Amino acid sequence: MTGSKQIGRRQMLAGTAAAMLLSRAPALARAARDATLTFGQGPRGATIPPDFLGLSYEAAQLANPAFFSPANRALIALFRELSPSGNLRIGGGSSAYATYAPDAPAGPPPFETFGPDTSKTVKHQTVVSDEALRNLRGFLDATGWNCLFGLDLARNSKENAAAEAAAVQRILGPRLVAVQIGNEPDSYRTHYRPAAWGPADFIREWNAFHDAVAAAAPGIRFAGPDISNKLDYLTAFAADAPRHRDVVMLTAHYYAMGPAGSPDATIAQLLSDDPRQATLHPAGLPVIAAAQQRTGLPFRMSEGNSCWNGGEPGVSDTLASALWCADTMLRFASYGWVGVNWHGGGNGYYTPIAGAPSTGFTRRPEYFGMRFAQLLSGGTFVPMTVEGLPADTSIYTLERAGQRRIAIINKGASPVSIRLPAPTRGPAVLLTAPSLTSKQGVRLRTIAQTASTRSLVPRFAAVLHTLA
C-alpha cells in the first residue's frame, strides 16, 4: 500500500481537507524501519489554538471549595506547567448528583478529592456553592486558563440550572467559554429516562433548559451535546443548533477503549492505529465533520482518556499512555478540532495529575505526553509525504513564526531512522522512559544534537526536532 493511498483513506474517514491529513504520516504496514520525509505542496492545515490543551474534572470536586482555589498553589503550578492558557472542563457523571446552592453547607466538605467517576463510585449529594465558584475564578485567574462548565440535565430542574448558570456567568466572567447542558445524555435511556427516550426527546428537554438559562443569564454561550458515543444525538443537536446564535461549540467524548477490567484493555490495543473499542473514532469522524459543516461551529473533545471507567492499571499509568496521549492530541489537532480535555482527578489510573492538597500532587505519565504535544501549540500543520514509515510510528509537521518543527512518535519496539528534508537546528526534545510499561521515570527533556538530515528515534519514544 502506498503512502498516498493510505492518506486518502484517512481523508475519506475524516471528511476533512487534504492539507489537514497530509500533515500526519500514513501508517504503512511495512517491516522496514527506515523512512524518508519530504514536504508536500498544497494548502496548509489547521492551526493549534492556545487553549487546545485541556483537563476535565468531575463537578462533584467543587463540593470542596479549597481544591480549585487560588490557595492551591501546587496545583496551579502544575496547570501552568502544562499550558499558560488551557481549558478546564467541569462536568462528568457526578454532575447528576451535584446541586447548586448559593451557600455551602455547614461543616467540612464530604471529601478532599473526587474522581474520576466510575460505576463503583459512591455518589454523594454534593453542593456547588458561590464560594466554590469564587475560588474557581481565582484558580482560573492564577493559571490563565478558561472554563467549559457543565450543568446537570439528568436529575436537575431547569430553574436550578438557570440559577447556577447565572452564578457561573456572574462569577467566572470572561473565564467562562460556555456552559453545557447534560453530561453524556445519550446514556440516559433506562437510567435517568425511559427506554424509549431518544435524540428528539433530548433536544426537546435541552431547549427547555436552554431557554431558562438564557433568560436568567443573558449573553451566556452554550456548547454541546457532550455525548458519549451515540452519533445520532450529535446529528440531532447539529440540526437544531443553527437556530440558536448562542451555541458556539460542538462537543463529545472520546475514550480509546474500555471498560477498565476488560481483557481487551491492553497496551497493544491502546497503541494500535484505530483501537477497535474507541468511541467516535473512526466512524465518528465523518459525522463530526458533517455536524461542523452544517453548523459552522468548531468541535472540541470535552472529555476522554485511554480507558473509560477510571483507567486500566498497567496501561493507563505507563509510558504507553504518554505516547498515546501525545499522538492522539496531535492527530485530533490535525483534524481541525479546537481542543481536548483529558478527564481525571483524585488518584484514577488515567488522571494526568494525581493526589490531593494534603498529600501533594504527582505527574502521571500522561502528563508528559500532554506537555510534548503542547510544545507545538500555535503551530500550523503543513503538507508532507513519507515513504517507508512503519505502522507504529506517527509524524506531524508544523510551522510557527516561520520555523518548521517535526514531531515523531515511535510506538514500536525498534528504533526508526528518518531522512529529513532539511538539517535539524538546535536541541531536540525527547519523551522517553526505561520501558513501555514504566510508571516512573517518564521524562521530557531537551537533548543536544548536531545538525543532521537524519533522525534516529529510539524505540518507545517521541522526538521533536526544529529544522534549519
* Res 275: pLDDT: 66
Kindly report whether the global pTM for this prediction surpasses the value 0.75: yes
3-state secondary structure of 410: strand
Q: How far apart are CA 94 and CA 103, in angstroms?
A: 20
Q: How far apart are CA 55 and CA 366, in angstroms?
A: 12
pLDDT one digit per residue (tens) for the chain, 468 residues: 223 223 332 322 232 322 232 233 333 333 337 899 999 988 999 999 999 999 999 999 999 999 999 999 999 999 999 999 999 999 999 999 999 999 999 999 999 999 888 877 777 779 999 999 999 999 999 999 999 999 999 999 999 999 999 999 999 999 999 999 999 999 999 899 999 999 999 999 999 999 999 999 999 999 999 999 999 999 999 999 999 999 999 999 999 999 999 999 999 999 987 666 777 777 789 999 999 999 999 999 999 999 999 999 999 999 999 999 999 999 999 999 999 999 999 999 999 999 999 999 999 999 999 999 999 999 999 999 999 999 999 999 999 999 999 999 999 999 999 999 999 999 999 999 999 999 999 999 999 999 999 999 999 999 999 999
Q: How far apart are the first and last CA of the chain?
A: 32
Q: How far apart are CA 27 and CA 165, in angstroms?
A: 45
Query: Contact at 8 Å (CB) between 409 and 417?
Result: no
Q: Which residue has the cell 496545583?
A: 75
* Res 8: pLDDT: 30
* Res 168: pLDDT: 98
Q: 96 is written with which cell numbers? A: 447528576
Nearest of 120, 112, 119 to residue 62 by alpha carbon: 112
Nearest of 129, 113, 173 to residue 346 by alpha carbon: 113
Question: Residue 151: which residues within 8 A CB-CB, separation 6 or more?
Answer: 95, 161, 164, 165, 179, 180, 181, 182, 209, 213
Q: Domains in the chain, start-ordered, CATH in brackets?
A: 3-46+379-466 (2.60.40.1180), 53-374 (3.20.20.80)
* Res 165: pLDDT: 98
* Res 367: pLDDT: 98
* Res 280: pLDDT: 78
Question: Any idea how long the chain is?
Answer: 468
Q: Which residue has the cell 545538525?
A: 451
3-state secondary structure of 203: helix
Give me Rg for the CA atoms of the chain.
Answer: 22
